[in-house]
Structure 1
Amino acid sequence: MLGVLWTVAVVLFIFWALGLALHIAGNIIHVLLLLAIAIAIYNFLKSRTAF
């Protein structure tokens, strides 16, 4: 599950960089990127406390 999340985060980062460079897609890419990063951090912290 964590691998899929990292894949989504990387893809969103690429889309964010393209959107920033080409001025397309507005703020939705930024919101999705922040959401993916927040979920990744939450899952990382959750998996570390399970041990």
Structure 2
Amino acid sequence: MFPGIDALLARIERAGLPWGIVTNKIAALTLPLLQRMGLAARAGVVVCG
């Protein structure tokens, strides 16, 4: 993750705003990565290519 992104996401979440992830990577690769990063349960939506 880029520096500062986790803090930004935390601010967005504290404000009660939904956020999501859009990638051209296939779901079979994306979802396990997001789970390892702790983002899968936090994102409101994940759109994969």
Q: TM-score range by the shorter chain?
A: 0.3 to 0.5
Length-normalised TM-score, structure 2: 0.33
Higher helix proportion, which one?
Answer: 1
